[in-house]
Amino acid sequence: MKICVISAFPPSKDNINAPTALPYQILKYAPGQAQINLYYYPGPAEFQKIVDNDLNQLKLDNIVKIPFPNFFMRYFFYVRAKLRNYPRGVGRFPENKTLIHDINRLNPDIVWLYPHWLIDWIPLLKCQNIVVTGPDSASLHSERVIRYGRWDSCISIFFEFLQYKRNITLEKSLGLSSVKVHFVGREDLKKYFSLIKKKTGGFFILHPLHGYCPIKETINSKSGKIRIIISGGGKTVYVGDHLSRLINNLIDLHEKLSPYYEFCFIGDGYDNYIPPLKYVGYSIIQKKRVENYSEELSNAQIQIFPIAVGTGTKGKVLHALSTGLLGIGSTFSYENIEVIPGEDCVIYHEPEDIVQSLEDILVNKSLYEKIAEQGAIKTRTNHASEKVCHMFWEEVLKKQ
């Protein structure tokens, strides 16, 4: 069996400079006898060694980096995407006719495209079994951003409405082709079917686990301050005003909480939040990048997910819960993760609820440790990589 994979991002196990680590996980459990040819657009040069090391762990027959077009051609592709009312991402990852010729010459049984921005590759591919991974519905994402996002001006909302229309155009165009579209969100698939006016040509599979390192010290066994992780970026549309509201509450309750908790911020966008927390007495660790994200998580006991907007599955939430951390997050945080909020993780309805949970943890450590344990067991079982990825390949191999 010949499989060609075309990815707009380098497949890597720790989600380097990409929306998700999903392609790496699924390739890891590809059919045993498959001949796999990977074509991908490279990321920043500083991460290439990590990517190369990750790709060496996969059973790939051939790896080809897709060259980005020069400046003038890049501008042409952006304009072309705009004229067709497509998102900018379509212009960023245009079809490469030379490589498509090579792929067609290979006559693959399956071509898998990631993500949907590679739509312009589809009409030129001669394969009869083409799969496109979202992994989310772009139109549902825009819809929720408009509804739940934090807006500073009418101009910002206007541009998001334009993006919403472009995402709708993109997904309707996918629906007109004969591809299968794969989502990691139930609501995402439902949204896609509502746009294309049919209930075929798409499927939902749970997101597989990242490789995780089990937690080293639990909430109850931790000596010294309990470590809380906040990661993913502090200036994204996903956090809305949830993070700033949380920080304000932490400052207000610093006398009660700072002697018992320390915070580790991983990623960018937290610079404005850290000095006020330090000023009132919180212990703070800040890491813009980490060599081993799984190892970093295993040193903590809790992770807070201040997510105001969301679609699909939150990879970092899944990663944290499987590690054994106690998750504290919004309703969107646990969407499409097979856990029960309140039993396997802590849910907040307003960001102000988070500090109340932190207070309660201090007097009920055994209870919350048990919640974290249950969350780890359920995610490790329900999202087990081998099981979930086999389900993906079974769906892909089905006849249209």
Domain ranges of the chain: 2-208+384-397, 226-382
Provide the whole-model pTM: 0.89
Measure CA of the first residue to CA of the last residue in the chain; give whole Å: 17
- For the chain, the average pLDDT equals 92
Q: Tell me, what's the pLDDT at 313?
A: 72
**Fold classified for 226-382:** Rossmann fold (3.40.50)
Residues 2-208+384-397, CATH architecture: 3-Layer(aba) Sandwich (3.40)
Q: Which residue type, as a one-letter code, is found at position 234?
A: G
Highest mean pLDDT among 41-55, 134-148, 345-359: 345-359
Q: Tell me, what's the pLDDT at 228?
A: 98
| Other CB atoms within 10 A of residue 61 CB | 11
Among the listed residues 319, 323, 373, 316, the one whose alpha carbon sits nearest the alpha carbon of residue 343? 373
Per residue in 220-264, pLDDT (tens digit) is 999 899 999 999 888 777 888 899 999 999 999 999 999 999 999
Contact by Cβ (8 Å): 39, 70 = no
Per residue in 268-327, pLDDT (tens digit) is 999 999 999 999 999 999 998 888 889 999 999 999 999 988 777 788 899 999 999 999
Q: Tell me, what's the pLDDT at 153?
A: 66
- The residue behind tokens 């081993």 is 292
Would the CATH topology of 2-208+384-397 be identical to that of 226-382?
A: yes
- The residue behind tokens 């549309």 is 237
Buried/exposed code over 28-51 (b: 16+ C-beta within 10 A; e: otherwise): bbbbeebbbbbbbbebeeebeebb
Instruction: Output 150 or 353, whichever has higher pLDDT.
Output: 353
Among the listed residues 236, 261, 142, the one whose alpha carbon sits nearest the alpha carbon of residue 195? 142
Q: Tell me, what's the pLDDT at 290?
A: 85
